[in-house]
Structure 1
Amino acid sequence: MNAPASILTDVRTDFPGMLTGEGQPWHYLDTAATSQKPQAVIDAMARALGEDYATVHRGVYARSADMTRAYEAARRRVADFIGGHEEEVVFTRGATEAINLVASTWGVANLKAGDRILLSTLEHHSNIVPWQMVAERTGAEIDVCPLTHDGQIDLDAAAEILTEKHKLVALAHVSNVLGSVLDAKRAADLAHGVGAKLLLDGCQAAPRLTLDVAALDCDFYVFSAHKLYGPTAIGALWARSEILDGMPPYQGGGAMIDRVSFEKTTYAPPPQRFEAGTPAITEAVGLHAAIDYVESIGLDRIHAREMALVAQLREALGAMNDVTLYGPADTAGILSFMLDGVHPHDLGTILDEENVAIRAGHHCAQPLMEHLGVPATARASFGLYSDESDVEALLEGIARTRRIFG
């Protein structure tokens, strides 16, 4: 195999989770599910949970003020990372909660019987189920955009489907199964052409693509920190300020209020209006550190490296007559496949014996599995710490599996 086109300085040593308990290399190819964490993130969170720890937005003492500044600095860092403004960034528990927040607030307030929502065949369940729930509450109906033959969201078909009855289009920026990358700007033009809003699920895009919500021209953008080399239990919703201003609160409690009395409660402006309760303080600090780490390497370099590794794997698997590949040729760090006569769970189990970790299952995308005509796929997903040895270990594990089932 040729070396990847964009070689990065070896960063695997920055990730303590990249070794087995016996100190052997662990070939982690499940980054699309959740990423390993660099030591810089672990250290930042340890300091925030230790010597720096205090509550935020409430204390008048110095450490609380310092922690509040750190928490809000994380919000500004997220805004800079995606090309937005800090007052447009709402911290959530992850992309799933962010989509539920939009559905339960903007959706309930703006959708009614006869309105329509457009999704696509490849969406993650988190970008399907919340819209089904809000459709049941409001009487709105859901349309599904098909895929092209190679697994892209078919925007030509979307153009035919969309009407002025559509109020929302919600699509994955990068598919978590196929790795296909949406032409987000065209999706925005199509949505706005009929007066609809566009929500982009950026979970798989944020760790590998340079983001600019202004250039994308979307109305909502969501992502999770744990796929961006940060901690679990925190993510972000970005929305245009004029949209956030018109959205009612998501949950009630402390921090999201202006004034409370038993007669009437008034609410804080966005983003605080949507952040009830004590927030994920140390997680926000960890997210800040993760963005710093990723940008110190460079999203363009990360994306180029991952695409080179996917191309290597695709070429090797494509030469095997008993392997079916899914998705377009230029996938973003993700490759799903099937080995004839071997259930993905069996393949994953055998690979685990070889210290190779892949994902096997429906990947929270059961409608896509039905479209592909399979109950599950095997998925290899790369990260910034991936290298040629991971591809080689996976191929060796597949060869062993073929011998076992041969």
Structure 2
Amino acid sequence: GLDYAKELDGNLIIVVNDNDMSIAENHGGLYTNLKLLRDTKGTAECNLFRAMGLDYYYVHEGNDVAALIDTFQKVKDSKKPVVVHIRTLKGKGYAPAEEHKEQWHYSGPFDIETGRSLFEGDEEDYSSVSCDYLLDKMKKDPKVVAITAGTPTVIGFTEDKRREAGKQFVDVGIAEETAVALASGIAAGGGKPVFGVYSSFVQRTFDQISQDLCINNNAATIVTFAGSVYGMNDVTHLGFQDIPMLSNIPNLVYLAPTTKEEYIAMLDWSIEQNEHPVAIKLPGGAMVSGRPVTKNFGDLNKYEVTQKGSKVALLGLGTFYSLANAVADEMKSELGIDATVINPYYITGLDEELLESLKADHSVVVTIEDGILDGGFGEKIARFYGDSDMKVLNYGLKKEFLDRYDVEEVLKDNRLDAEMIAEDVKGLL
């Protein structure tokens, strides 16, 4: 895709980094044209960029620094927009990465001699759980289709799993907009699509979710991964904005599980129902498991009181349900208060009956969410209590761009800490 665009002294230079690794290359459009240009070393008559009136330069040896410098010397003083198409080899210079491009698209710290991760483990995660569930579902129901946008392993579909799924797995390439439009169309035709996507990339397809999916009220499922302070931490891949983005689109039901079991139950309900478009925000951090689920998620906007108390009510959404429990423990030990703890589940709707009932024996309501506060879940709760005497504290993340951050520092900076929250609540009692 178009990897980089920068305006220098009024001149637009567009850099296309073409590393020939997309498994979806032959699905048409830009991918097919890039392959044609690459195969002809930039000489093909069919050239999307020249057709748009742009100057075009092709660099066949894109890992050759001297060749890159020579090309950029030629274009740096251009008076019109220029495309520089660079063919690179993914993992150039490191044999394991050259041989297994998809596996090495991203890597954490590893042993350079063996290529093995320094943090390798066999524990389950939400990607593997999603894949196992969906493959089993596909075998039982040919209407179930898994969709990704250039990141098949986000829902665990490695090459062998894709072969197993066959035509019930579709990767549209780096085109989240197409993925949502496809999911909406499949749902409209009676299919059961599940689109797995990183939270950071949801922003690319806001328009399709709103207009293609939700206006038509088609029952597709979107699963958002890494929408968390514990997710990816570079500034272009932050997963902090999905709650404000998605929770304010009409017709969409946005759910926040706290455990593996809740996630599977939500996913199963979403796939089998045909009344709502549904999104599921997976929690960050280590996967929690072992708590049974008895809730019917079709009974919309009904929160669950998991600990009944008085004076203070703690609503811990998704990732931070565990923090709400930790705050309750802190308040019990330090203040002698038995707080109410609530698992809200629903990001997009209010349990007005429950919230109203809290007025009888509570004076403070605390919301804790894993995302930017502005336009988020907590503000909806605060607005509900706006004309009452209830005091509301909202905890989440400030609206800011962070880059390569330390999670613990960010949590402390936003007072996402049991002792700090208990201290704030004490000041209101």
Q: TM-score, with normalisation over the residues of structure 1?
A: 0.31
Larger Rg: 2
Which of the pair is proportionally richer in helix? Answer: 1
Which has the bigger relative contact order, CA under 8 A and spacing at least 6? Answer: 1
